[in-house]
Structure 1
Amino acid sequence: MSQPGRRLGVDVGSVRVGVALSDPGGLLATPLVTLRRDERDGSDLRQLAELVVEYEVVEVVVGLPRTLAGREGPAAAAARQYVELLAGHLSVPIQMSDERLSTVVATRALRERGVRGRKQRSVIDQAAAVEILQGWLDSRRTVGGG
């Protein structure tokens, strides 16, 4: 149903943007990079566009932060606005995926591996992007997607 190829997972924060990449078969998401968010010059948007080209990405998956009750608040509105800006830089489709608890799950996983403090902050955004992308990939497989 969906085309084969790499997907890019994106966790949008107010300061940083975590990025994860899937394998070409769409089975496994791995951490890629954390970008500094720059609303003034949009350099993070350009860097994402460069990653899409460099890794021959066929689709981008951006986390949509919802409340535990499933509602969209200010964080979801900010993510949707980011996707609108990002769409102007990309020639591939962008999907939004529910990211409830992705940062919580990522933080717990890092803590269990003994990654704490400053080191944890430097990779938490990538880990959250992995959670977002892996959840999306898994849901596509179980629903009979790709």
Structure 2
Amino acid sequence: MRGRRIAFDYGDVRTGVALCDPDGILASPLCVLETKSKNFITEISSLLSEHEPIRIFIGKPLNMSGITGESAEKVEAFVGQVQSITNLPIQLVDERLSTVSAQRKLKEAGVSMRDSKSLIDAMAAVAILEQGLLSETLE
């Protein structure tokens, strides 16, 4: 299906956001939001209005064993907040290796670890979006 998709890598401090092109081919980092900001959900609502995605992917943190933990509960609460502002379909995506993947890509691109801290969350959202897009092609 044609249309942009958006992905969120929810974190206690920062939430990375990624967006794909309307054909679902290229996932790119969009921004990083401050999770504790009083305008956090309003900012998400603005992003949804501006980019008009057809689906939302949210990273679901699982332990390496596949069991959910405290972080997954926080993501479930975040999903509830997002559901309260949109009727778009929301799909949870296993994000166990998204940060590791993001760090590797940034290192390969020659970005120093110090400079990459601000990019890691958005790049992790890219990894989540890529996983989500891949799952769509397998449907």
The TM tier, using the shorter chain, reads over 0.9
2:117 paired with 1:121: yes
Deviation, 1:138, is 1.3
| Number of residue pairs matched by the alignment | 139
- 1:58 aligned partner: 54
- 1:133 aligned partner: 129
Q: How many Å separate the matches in 1 of 2:109 and 2:4?
A: 27
Q: How many Å separate the matches in 1 of 2:41 and 2:97?
A: 24
Q: How many Å separate the matches in 2 of 1:93 and 1:26?
A: 16
- 1:68 aligned partner: 64
Q: How many Å separate the matches in 2 of 1:133 and 1:45?
A: 20
Do 1:65 and 1:98's aligned partners in 2 also have CA atoms closer than 8 Å?
Answer: yes
The aligned amino acid for 2:129 is L
Q: How does 1:79-118 map to 2 (within 5 A)?
A: 79-118=75-114
TM-score (norm 2): 0.94
- Farther off after superposition, 110-119 or 47-56: 110-119
Gaps of 5+ in 2: none
The aligned amino acid for 1:4 is R
TM-score (norm 1): 0.89
Percent identity of paired positions between Structure 1 and Structure 2: 40
- Farther off after superposition, 82-91 or 16-25: 82-91
Do 1:27 and 1:138's aligned partners in 2 also have CA atoms closer than 8 Å?
Answer: no
SS of the equivalent of 2:65 reads coil
Deviation, 1:56, is 1.3
Q: Structure 1, residues 30-81: CA drift from partner, whole Å, max 9, x if none? A: 1101111126x2x121111111111111111000011111110111111111
